[in-house]
Structure 1
Amino acid sequence: MSANEKISNKKGNWYIAEIIEKREPFNNNKENDLRRVVTWGNFHLIKAESPKLAYEKAVKIGKDGEINFTNSDNVEMEYTFVGIADLIPIYEDNIEDGSELMWTNYGSISNRKSEKFVRTEEDILQNIKLKKD
């Protein structure tokens, strides 16, 4: 998106959905709720005419992402949709470079605690995996 490109949101029909998925061996004991599973919260941009339709669209995206595969250790694995953790409306009239998409109210906390949210540039950048061509 170039600096002057915008997505209109005048109708307020854009949302961010956090879709929770997990990865585990296919043959894991599913009865054991204390088993360890690798879990992600993936944030998706959703366009829908209502919050209910946005939620339904997010569920479909989550379910469509379920797959089984065999890993490099020859273990059959599965990605499973767990559910929707959050659905956040975007309030900006236009979505463009620099737009505020989400926020969190941490409440009235100490200055020290507010400063603990900040990470160093090195810490942030080392965890970004660039898209490969």
Structure 2
Amino acid sequence: MNADWLDQLRWADDGLLPAIAQDADDGRVLMVAWMNREALAATAAGGEAVYWSRSRGRLWHKGESSGHTQAVTEIRTDCDSDVILLIVRQHGDIACHTGRRSCFFRRLDENDGWITVDPVSKDPDEIYG
């Protein structure tokens, strides 16, 4: 694949773009992470999501420690070319390090603030040891 497509994106000054992972079957947003050029190129070439971990300062193949990889079925960008959307099939049905299907498991309640609305699918200690 010609790398010119990477040049057509509007990378932030730090060389990153936000990347949204969306479930291919039901459209649910599973998570948001960051990608640099190398992560996006690796994702396109390998067919599995690879992100840039800001906390680790390195590439992060989603599921490298949990086994919950993301098979990428489609890669899109928005109208401004500064956000990546990955349409994925989430292996193990857990995308969040908290053991939930989605990282978006809290909802704002006008009386109680942020409340947890999605259950833990698997205890993170069982996933990560």
Q: Which has the higher contact order (CA 8 A, sep 6+)?
A: 1
When Rg is computed on C-alpha atoms for both structures, the one with the higher figure is 1
Shared fold (TM-score, shorter chain, > 0.5)? no
TM-score (norm 1): 0.27
**What TM-score do the two structures reach when normalised by structure 2?**
0.28
